[in-house]
A = this chain, B = another copy of it.
Amino acid sequence: MSMASAVAAQDWAAQARLAVERALTQWVPEHASAGLGASMRYAVMGGGKRLRPLLCLAARRSVSAKEPLELREVLDQAALRAACAVELIHAYSLVHDDMPCMDNDVLRRGLPTVHVKFGQAQALLCGDALQSLAFELLTPEGAQVEPRVQVELCRLLSVAAGHAGMCGGQAIDLQSVGLNLNREALEEMHQKKTGALLVASVMMGAACAQAQLLPEGAVQHLKTYAAHLGLAFQVVDDILDVVGDTQTLGKTAGKDADMDKPTFVSLLGLPEAKALAQRLHDQAQAALVASQLPHTEVLSALAQEVIDRQH
């Protein structure tokens, strides 16, 4: 990617991030019953990289080629809802994951976690309500997008969030503390725990399209891109847990090693883990080229960010 297109991609991503913040502010209810609105907003609006929404919107951008203007707006709006829905699932998973019965973490993005601030019962409900809200966002009354697309979005998100995706991965994670997972088992855990939702982010963006206008196999290549990016993301996470410090990370560093959790670093060593992250990044970029889609520059920049990040 040239310097000029890298800057353009960054500008686009900054605009997209703003749109997501605005939409989340609008759609996460401030005044929900009995403090639930306050805890939901706290969980969602506390910053974060918004990687999943950006992946979703960048994937939508990559498949938006030749639509009539009106249809383009409808599909862009559906993608914005999808982007927020996937972020709500991510946010709920962090709230529940931080609870004392799970990782028992008190710090997230430098702030007290939801259960520390609002109590465990409220944190439990907050997470539950965020998951429901994700599906509510995907199925608004009077939407102009084809119902077929809405159904596809709900399917992609529910499968990625559930037993075969994120929750399944977390269950493997729970069970794997203190075990010597081999690389295959470690990859399976991460493919489910974080990979599934990252892949869904991309696939949901890609679902907001007129499929018949796309190059053959393009969506499959986007899926390959997302799978490699998802695994790279986790490898980098494991590296940062070792080389990062608590202040930069905004969460407790060294946590995985302390809890005797298997990681790519514990399995492969630091140099090989770094090389793996780079290889996965390169494969993600190659899949974008193979897709033959004209506007993959933001997806490309996001893959670069994933391996360059410091937190």
Residues on A facing B (Cβ under 8 Å) = 29, 32-37, 40, 92-93, 96, 99, 101-102, 119-122, 124-125, 127-129, 131-136, 138-141, 143, 146-148, 150-152, 154-155, 157-159, 161-165, 167-172, 174-176, 192
A-B contact pairs, 30 of them (CB 8 A): A29-B163, A32-B163, A32-B168, A32-B171, A33-B163, A33-B169, A33-B192, A35-B171, A36-B168, A96-B124, A102-B121, A127-B128, A128-B128, A128-B167, A129-B162, A129-B167, A131-B131, A132-B159, A133-B162, A135-B135, A136-B155, A136-B158, A138-B154, A139-B151, A139-B152, A139-B154, A139-B155, A147-B148, A151-B154, A154-B154
**Minimal beta-carbon separation of A94 from chain B (angstroms):** 12
Nearest chain B CB to A79's CB is how many angstroms away?
Answer: 17
A174 to B192, CA, bound (A): 33
Are A168 and B33 interface neighbours, CB within 8 A?
yes
Residues of B within 8 A of A132 (CB): 131, 158-159, 161-163, 165, 167
A164: B residues at CB distance < 8 A: 29, 32-33
Complex-state Cα separation, A151 to B92, whole angstroms:
23
Q: Which of B124, B141, B158, B171 contacts A102 (CB 8 A)?
A: B124
CA gap between A34 and B152 in the complex, in Å: 28
Residue with the greatest number of chain B CB neighbours at <10 A, chosen from A133, A138, A139 = A139
Report chain B residues within 8 Å CB of A131.
Answer: 128, 131-132
Q: How far is the CA of A29 from the CA of B165 in the complex (A)?
A: 13
Report the separation of the CA atoms of residues A154 and B140 in the bound assembly, to the nearest whole angstrom: 10
Contact A168:B136 (CB < 8 A) given known A124-B101, A131-B128: no
| With A101-B121, A102-B124, A129-B163 as contacts: A34 and B171 at CB distance below 8 Å | yes
Q: How far is the CA of A161 from the CA of B130 in the complex (A)?
A: 10
B162 and A96 within 8 A (CB): no
Q: Shortest CB–CB separation between residue A83 and chain B, in angstroms?
A: 17
Query: Which of B135, B165, B192 is in CB contact (< 8 Å) with A158?
Result: B135
**CA of A138 to CA of B33, assembled, Å:** 27
